[in-house]
Amino acid sequence: MATSQIQTVNTTADKAKLAAAAALVGASLVAYYALGKQGPLFQWLGLLAGLAVAVVVFLTSESGRALLAFGQESVKEIKKVVWPTRKDAIQMTLYVFGFVFVMALFLWLSDKTLEWFIYDLILGWKK
């Protein structure tokens, strides 16, 4: 039985790291606009450098380590997936198209039958 766990930031150091990461993102945006007179190269370098530092600070927190662990587990699970062969994928696609065609035909016939029944037989509205 799977149990869900709610993770919260418990320590003051983790809260400080997350606040610092958020402040660095804000400072990066401010630096981007403040460096407007120096040209786009300096703007983008300031923005990317600030964001890189913010990511490093975030990844040192408990939440960042948990995110990395989740990513690693996800990659492991993706490697376990057995992908269909090209033949199987084409075959299943043709089955889906065939089913869609049959359902469209059925719905069209149902619609025309109801139209004929209601308008021609019951109401007597001939076209």
Per-residue pLDDT of 17-64, as tens digits, reads 999 999 999 999 999 999 989 999 999 999 999 999 999 999 999 999
Structural tokens at position 40: 């786009």
| pLDDT confidence of residue 1 | 54
Please write the tens of the pLDDT for every residue from 87-120. 999 999 999 999 999 999 999 999 999 999 998 8
Task: Say whether pTM exceeds 0.85.
Answer: no
Spatial separation of the C-alpha atoms in residues 53 and 21, rounded to whole Å: 8
The 10s digit of each residue's pLDDT in 61-86 is: 999 999 999 999 999 999 999 999 99
Dist. CA 32–CA 25, nearest whole Å:
11
Give me the residue spans of the domains in the chain.
1-81, 84-127
What pLDDT score does 27 carry?
A: 94
Longest dimension (CA), the chain: 80
User: DSSP readout, 84-125?
Assistant: PPHHHHHHHHHHHHHHHHHHHHHHHHHHHHHHIIIIIIIS--
| CB-CB contact of 67 with 55 (8 Å) | no
pLDDT greater than 80 at residue 122: yes
Is 83 strand, coil or helix?
A: coil
Residue with tokens 């198209």: 97
